[in-house]
Amino acid sequence: MNCSKCKIRLKEVKVKVYGAKNKVLSYQCPKCHYFEFEPESSKKVVEELRETPLKIKQNIIKLSQDRLGIYFNVNIVRSLGLKKGEEVLLSVPDKKHILLELQENKK
Ligand SMILES: [Zn+2]
């Protein structure tokens, strides 16, 4: 496959998508940086992300003056064995994700 503008061969580059094991194959032009995803592999990744076992819509609640919080519903509490007072590590990888990491050696 060639770049429609530069007429040179597009480079195949595998792109990692956050949260997915499969990589998306993309075609990139080394000259003009034209970029397109290979449809089959991107479909696979979208499907994989959709199959994430728990994806639940939650509202952010107001806790006090400047503090907000979210509830963990009973399904999440049970499947992860969460307990009150437990420590989690919170990180913000980008402006659309909040990542909570549970401590390793949990019983
Ligand atoms: Zn090009």
Q: What are the boundaries of each domain within the chain?
A: 11-50, 61-102
For ligand 1, the distance from its centroid to the CA atom of residue 46, given in whole angstroms, is 27
Q: What are the backbone angles phi and psi of residue 78, rounded to the nearest 5°?
A: -70, -50
For ligand 1, the distance from its centroid to the CA atom of residue 89, given in whole angstroms, is 43
Whether the CB-CB separation of 8 and 30 falls below 8 Å is answered with yes
Residue 14, SS3 per DSSP: strand
Residue-wise pLDDT for 76-98, tens only, equals 788 788 888 888 888 887 888 88
**pTM > 0.75:** no
**In angstroms, rounded to a whole number, what is the distance separating the alpha carbons of residues 69 and 45?**
31
Report whether pLDDT(10) > 90.
yes
Residue 80, SS3 per DSSP: helix
